[in-house]
Amino acid sequence: MKSKNLSEKILRLIKSKGFNNIELDPVLETKYILQRSGENFKRLLFSFYDLNGKELCLRPDLTISSVLRFVQNKSNKKQKVFYSGEAFRKTYRKQDSIIKNQIGYEILGSKDKQKEDQEIIDTSIKIFKSSGFKKAVLKIGNVELFSLLINKLDIPRRWKNRLKRYYWNESYFNELLKRLETNLDIDPVFVEIDKSRYLKMRKLENFKEVAGRSYKEILDRFDMKIKDPRRSSSGKINTKIIKEYLKIKCELKNAPKVLNKFFQKYGLNIFVGKEFFPQNKINNKNLRVEFSASSGREVEFYSSMIFSIEVKKGKKFKNFISGGRYDELTSNLGFRKVSAAGAAVNMSVYE
């Protein structure tokens, strides 16, 4: 009962900030989830086929359902929406478990991104103030800064794309850094064998296929490796830079200064201004505000600003609200790009 009353209180607060309640379909086409998250995520879905053979699933996340609704309605006007309900996803901690009572709020189709980012964070802070928790930390990051860093490093282009793509998968990302640093996965014997095959394939017809890939595709990829190889010397320093960057934490107001000093230290032509961060003036002694370069790596949606509010429960801090900007989400689902920022409240923190 307590959790239900708190949910209703939070929903009333969100509504008072000008957000309009919407109902989201409990079912959506599986292809939209796989386009965003890949086949590995499929094992976590409750999926089935309809009478026409179309694969459907129970919604594993309400954010995807919300942005799909926006683009499929072909709306071009700014919308402030909120919703609540269950997201169905297997966790393997409990058999056939679900994520219960997710509350979300979003601003879609906005043209003033920084203003809307601030509004999402302001609303989140007001929810914290009404939550009953006494102490919390607001962590703010920016995924765009990580992309800028990777683009400036002396790393082969295919590896830059790989690091940005798997930034969200922390264990595999760390494995990639180890390979980049040591080059231990490169066997000189196999390299020579590949070169020999490459020269033979150059003399054959490009339209032929091997394992579903054309000779041309294979040869172009090998050309790229020859012209833009990994180097052990630069790999070590670049790995060091990436690891050091991801450890950066400081007060939010000091973030531009700390980051610019870091980029200058390594001779990287990147300048960080205040526009990378929300300019909220937060005067709450119970809410510590900090910049964290590695904040929010659990969710793949985000493209720039990202944040979380972690509340103190007992002796530990637990995630209560998380969100950010995800302008690329709709285009990754196969639709037009839409400006989007939002957040979700994790009501399970009360359990």
- Dump pLDDT digits (tens) for 208-223: 666 566 666 665 666 5
71 close to 335: Cβ distance less than 8 angstroms: yes
What local confidence, expressed as pLDDT, does residue 291 receive? 94
110 close to 19: Cβ distance less than 8 angstroms: no
Phi/psi of residue 53, nearest 5 degrees: 85, 10
Integer CA distances (angstroms), 280 to 112, 133, 145, 284, in order: 15, 21, 20, 12
Q: Please give the average per-residue pLDDT across 335-351, as a whole number.
A: 88
Q: What is the DSSP string of 57-116?
A: EE-S-HHHHHHHHHHHTT--S-EEEEEEEEE----SSSTT--EEEEEEEEEES-S-HHHH
**284 versus 27: which is more confidently predicted?**
27
Radius of gyration in angstroms for the set of CA atoms belonging to the chain, rounded to a whole number: 23
Closest CA to 128 of 252, 275, 289: 289
pLDDT for 193 beyond 70: no
pTM: 0.80
| CATH classification (class only), 2-149+241-350 | alpha beta
| Residue 20 structure tokens | 């309009």
pLDDT for 116 beyond 80: yes
**Mean pLDDT computed over every residue of the chain:** 83
Residue range(s) of every CATH 3.30.930.10 domain in the chain:
2-149+241-350
